[in-house]
Amino acid sequence: MTFKSILFVLSLFVSFLLSFLLESPWSLAQWLDAIFLVGLSMLVIASVLLLIEGRFFAAFIQSTKNFFAKINKREQMIRESEKRTAEPVVYAKHFPSRKAFFHVGLLFFLVGLLLSSAIYFL
């Protein structure tokens, strides 16, 4: 079994569990809402993984470190005595499961959206 199929089955199980945990009795509409929410959550997870992988926050972190290093006199003295530079150490993070989260999340999102809309409007 691939990671994508495990993620699909696990997400389907979570959507069933989520629809049973809601306060009102189980219905098809609640299950479709749970599928939509699980798909939306997985799309958000895939987006966060993409931001981390693309080092979106690295510039903010580095500028914050530089700012506090410049206003802290003790840190300046330590840098000068150790002859350290302000060069950041770059760590590359790669998430191979990002595409699986996106594909399964998009599938759940669209199925939940389309079937819920069909039930509501028909």
Do 50 and 102 have their domain in common? yes
**Mean pLDDT of all residues in the chain?**
85
Whether 34 and 85 share a structural domain: no
Enclosing domain of residue 1: 1-55+94-122
- Separation of alpha carbons 42 and 103, rounded Å: 9
Which pair of structure tokens corresponds to residue 96? 């191979």
Task: Say if residue 38's pLDDT is above 70.
Answer: yes
Same domain, 83 and 109: no
Residues 57-116 have pLDDT tens digits of 777 877 887 787 778 777 777 777 777 766 666 666 788 888 999 999 999 999 999 999
Decide if 108 contacts 42 (C-beta within 8 A).
yes
Task: Count up the domains in the chain and report the number.
Answer: 2
* Same domain membership, residue 48 and residue 101: yes
Question: What's the pLDDT score for residue 87?
Answer: 64
Higher-confidence residue of 108 and 55: namely 108
Same domain, 85 and 101: no
**Per-residue model confidence (pLDDT) at position 102:** 95
- Tell me, what's the pLDDT at 69? 73
Same domain for 87 and 67? Answer: yes
Task: Identify the sign of the CA torsion 61, 62, 63, 69.
Answer: positive
Residues 12 and 40 in one domain: yes
Mean pLDDT across 37-65: 87
* Predicted structure pTM score: 0.76
Shared domain check, 1 and 46 = yes
Share of the chain above pLDDT 70, in %: 93
